[in-house]
Structure 1
Amino acid sequence: MSTPDFLTDFHEVARIGATENGGVDRQAATEEDRRTREWFREFAQRRGWEVRVDGIGNQFALVEFTPGAPHILLGSHLDSQPLGGRFDGAYGVIAGLHAADRIARRVAEGGERPAVNLAVVNWFNEEGGRFAPSIMGSSVFAGLMDEQLMLEVRDLAGVRVRDALEAIGYLGSDARPQICGYAEIHIEQGRILEREATPIGAVDYSWFTQKLDIEVLGEQSHTGATAMADRHDALVGAAQVIMKVHEVTGCFEPETLVSSVGQLTLEPNSPIVVARRVHLVADLRAAEERVVREARARLLDDFAGIASASGLTINATDFDVRDNQHYPEDGLALTERVAADLGLGARRIRTMAGHDSVAMNRIAPTVMMFIPSVDGVSHCEREFSRDEDMLAGLDVLTEVGWRMLHGALACTPNGGAPVSR
């Protein structure tokens, strides 16, 4: 398929859930998510590919070369953050579909027929903006999360994952494809590639990450009638918690640790009532597990001090802990060889963000690649990657996929024995 078709498709998908400032809002299992899924389905069916949807809403397009053989899987996710960017995730899915189409045409035109099959995936709820935790669909696929428990997860409005998927017609029951390798391409969400004018990043490892699920409990009272000395304001305590989460990075060398509180809800959320309960989620990430563990310990001590001084109760529970994942050396070398063969520069790079590949790397040989992000901005409407960088990444993904199909990495079906060729 020609280059303009990829760009046309990318910018067409970007219109689904488009926001006024150039971003998208396609949270998991919403109407906008359904529309992107329909676009994915139609792309595959026009080419005669089988489409499946599994029990957690993951969507697969299957390209068969050798009946009964496992699949090399390409893809990412089409859901977005609220008021998010149009490149995060979607680029990897659309590039995966176009790479698969190029590969299928190459085989049809006489190229060597692979001994294994090819598939493209749109993972459910990678972002975790509506339903926590993130990376849900791929983690269920990889056996890291329980499907039934995840189907019972509720959003802030109380809607379950199960019901949301049923409402958009994408609570599936199809068999999951057996896979023997995975490749994902994504925008960097950082400034390194852009700063160094390098078109391709070969991701070598992911940062250690964990969240803290925090509940601050006080006492509900009248904002006008309650004396200041008599108040037990959960929101004031939560504000102190938020500042401690921000300040803990200063206990380490610069750029060693990142932290944030990105979500907060309070009860009863009335302008004339002192808050009785605040729920928030803190996010800690570092290259070294030791740093995250030390920051966590400091924060728990800080929270105890805040609770004691203000007459509040603060409960903090570990949530969504993910250890470092190191990607296979053979996959890194493959990316570097392909980039060189295509006349493109490449460098090894870590990922601070989580991706579906972090889950998939546990069960199959996995290749993770980045293209540059302008200003390193992501999860916001001005997120941007240039057309020429997307096209270069598509070329690399296509060739990486082709070589994986022909044995460039040891092909291990879902963590089992290598496939004989």
Structure 2
Amino acid sequence: MTITADTTPDSTARLKRELKSAEARRRAMALALVAPLALFLLLIFVVPIGALLTRAVQNPEVVDALPKTVAALKAWDRKTPPADAAYAALATDLTAAQDGEAMGALARRLNTEIPGFRSLVAKTARAMPLADEQGHTLALAPAQTRARLIELDARWADTAYWQAIAKNGSRTSPFYLLAALDHRQDAFGHIGPTDPDEQIYVTVFARTFVISAVVTLLTLLLGYPLSYWISTLSERRANLVMVLVLIPFWTSILVRVAAWIVLLQSEGLVNHALMDLGLIREPLALLFNRIGVYISMTHILLPFMILPLYSVMKSIPSTYQRAAVSLGSHPFAAFWRVYVPQTYPGVGAGALLVFILALGYYITPALLGGPNDQMVSYYVAYFTNVTINWGMACALGALLLAATLVLYGVYGRFTRAKANAR
């Protein structure tokens, strides 16, 4: 019996529709499987990062607390004394202010512009509304309001305080980002460096990058030969050694740091061992300095270097190196010219992973380092938990994120260039 296919136009169109419907169902199923992960990343990663970036440029304190004052200062040239209407608007805003939290935020924000502005705002707010000696509220003309405010505190006659208010008359400002780069914007919008005795954050960023680079180099120097040795072992022994490499992941970072405090202190095991061996006569200072930070961070991050190196090394055939030696190459030259270049992807991945992880370290420098060993993360925590300055904390975090993305982009471009060269 012969079976013939129905090839009429109607059957062909129906078959196409069925194929499209089946493909659409497959795509919908795939999207449904990925949707929980996408939603999780959106809520846990994308939204917080977006909030971080927006908080770094948000500046709503002055606009929310002094709306009429900001409007009155819009046309002010910021050189001559402000008009009487600005004084009247300030008195109106402070009189109408009922939210103590908003006034506190205003005082803190203006105090970052001029030290002592907080006390001026608090003093003036307590005196509102302006009243006579009997406590009766006065209906004053703008010029009279000006005179009363200057009489209350002579600082209101100083244009610098009004310039600070006018400069922050927008809901967005580069103030925090500039401050994180040791720069500032004057009352006329010109950007320049801060005073030398106030420049700390560029030094902190440089210190963070130096510590991360040194730790990355140390993990590479220790991890490369160890990974090579593991790759030469039998599968059973290699698995056993890898278990030993991964054992530190079974304990928290805090526990490992505490263990290093016990080992590195003046009466710790390291100093005792060195003194018993006759290598030193008195205990070395290994805690609360850069040495302790390097030792602990290298120990904690070493597995992150070993894992990508080992995954690359175990896939490299040993016959390449033996072939180079059989052709007359020195064993070291064969290793350096034949084997090492093939491990570059693992070196790059491990170095990038360790460096990026080291950039954000907080607890290790905080517990093992001294005042000059703290990294950017320390100041992010300080502004978040101590001074409650979210703008500055987010600005530092945003710059650190930008540096991480730049490094990732450089690595991606480097790997693409290497791939194209092949």
Q: Same fold (TM over 0.5)?
A: no
Normalized per residue, which structure has more strand?
1
Q: TM-score, length-normalised on structure 1?
A: 0.27
Higher relative contact order (CA 8 A, sep 6+): 1
Q: TM-score, length-normalised on structure 2?
A: 0.26
Normalized per residue, which structure has more helix?
2
